[in-house]
Amino acid sequence: MHDNTNTLTSSYPETEQQLRIQSLQSHVEQQIVGQDRLVSRLLIALLADGHLLVEGAPGLAKTRAVKALSEGIECEFHRVQFTPDLLPADLTGTDIYRPQDASFVFQQGPLFNNLILADEVNRAPAKVQSALLEAMAERQITVGNTSYPLPELFMVMATQNPIEQEGTYPLPEAQLDRFLLHVFIDYPEPQYEKEILELARQDVRQRGEAAHDDQLSQADLFTARSQIMDIHMATNVEEYLLQLVLASRAPGQYSEQLAQWVEYGASPRASIALDRCSRAHAWLSGRDYVTPEDVQSMVFDVMRHRLILNYEAEAEGVTTDRFIAELIAQVAVP
């Protein structure tokens, strides 16, 4: 389905926050060529106050995208390269002993920043995953007997490389469910390759120059989030949203074939995520109401990592995206 969040267009008076988000979007799009879907999903995750899992081959600007986003926001950014020898303390921080007064002082780890890039997140073992899961789910870090709150603005963008699976640790379903969106990205269209070359040359020429100077303040971001939650969603659109999620759990009422493919449907967290993301999608599109098209545009990224298909689906080569497409085709649109 066509994604119409590439350019913010307004059908009602724009707020100051919309104009600032539009400026942020323009800044990121100047840095990222040929990956409009990734840019729009980054903004939606930011506005919907959720975490983002991005899967794609190396060299597709995943790291560059979140770095460009951080440059346009008043925030602290930190990148963590996940490796098999990474320890939980490398993320959370640890108590440091001070011999001068025989005391321990907590030294904060990288998770205490606002935007975290967890690069190749599936390369770290289970203990590290559990530390990241607590931060994502509870917005806090526990070290010893003490829990430390994380900043109010806290977003994790994790990346996965689908090519190399040797030496990786598949993310547990509980952690996958904590990601608001799971986005697949592919190679840019051929016409963008020349622009990418020119952008790379510009980077070399402008290295060391000041970054984006009109940064989005955290206060404006929180105001934008409040505006998004006030967007109107008609009762029939809300019912359509819920029926898509419920149909993933009991698809037999729509199609016997669908019922033979699914092991577990989407959790209630999917309903919450789809509601928030559909509202953010409508707000970015310049509307003060949600349409069924907003819901359909977001349902793939919201649900693909929350569905577990069975062996029969795997044997037939059925993917979660195909399953979701069939759901959309079967559930009546208001």
pLDDT at 29: 86
Which runs of consecutive H residues, i.e. helices, occur in the chain? 16-31, 36-47, 62-71, 89-92, 126-138, 173-176, 193-205, 218-229, 235-249, 256-259, 268-284, 292-303, 311-315, 320-330
pLDDT at 263: 87
Quick check: 121 and 54 in contact, CB under 8 A?
Answer: no
Grade residue 53 by pLDDT with cuts at 50, 70 and 90: very high
Q: What is the pLDDT of residues 70-89, one digit of tens each?
A: 989 999 999 999 988 999 99
95, β-bridge pairs: 106
Helix (H) or strand (E) holding 266: none
CA dihedral of 261, 264, 268, 271, whole degrees rounded to 10? -20
pLDDT at 8: 47
pLDDT at 327: 92
pLDDT at 12: 55
Between CA 291 and CA 241 the distance in angstroms is: 10
What whole-number percentage of the chain has pLDDT above 90?
Answer: 45
Grade residue 142 by pLDDT with cuts at 50, 70 and 90: confident
Tally the C-alpha atoms within 13 A of residue 113's C-alpha that lie toward its C-beta.
Answer: 18
**pLDDT at residue 123 greater than cutoff 60:** yes
Grade residue 166 by pLDDT with cuts at 50, 70 and 90: low
Between CA 184 and CA 167 the distance in angstroms is: 21
pLDDT at 298: 96
Higher local confidence (pLDDT), 58 or 87: 87
SS3 72: coil
So where are the chain's domains?
A: 31-203, 231-330
Between CA 199 and CA 217 the distance in angstroms is: 27
pLDDT at 275: 96
**pLDDT at residue 35 greater than cutoff 90:** no
Higher local confidence (pLDDT), 202 or 290: 290
pLDDT at 209: 52
Q: What is the CATH topology of the domain spanning 231-330?
A: Helicase, Ruva Protein; domain 3 (1.10.8)
pLDDT at 60: 81
Lowest-pLDDT choice from 4-8, 152-156, 230-234: 4-8
Q: Which CATH architecture has domain 31-203?
A: 3-Layer(aba) Sandwich (3.40)
Question: What is the β-pairing status of strands 77-81 and 115-119?
Answer: parallel
Residue 4's identity, in one-letter code, is N
Quick check: 6 and 26 in contact, CB under 8 A?
Answer: no
pLDDT at 211: 53
Query: Which of 292, 303, 295, 314 is closest to 53 using CA atoms?
Result: 303
Grade residue 213 by pLDDT with cuts at 50, 70 and 90: low
Q: What average pLDDT does the chain have?
A: 86
Q: What is the pLDDT of residues 305-317, one digit of tens each?
A: 999 888 888 888 8
pLDDT at 218: 93
Mean pLDDT score, 15-37: 87
* 171 burial level (CB within 10 Å; 0-12, 13-18, 19+): buried
Contacts of 22 (CB under 8 A, 6+ apart): 8, 14
Query: Which of 102, 78, 71, 74 is closest to 92 using CA atoms?
Result: 78
pLDDT at 140: 92
pLDDT at 255: 81
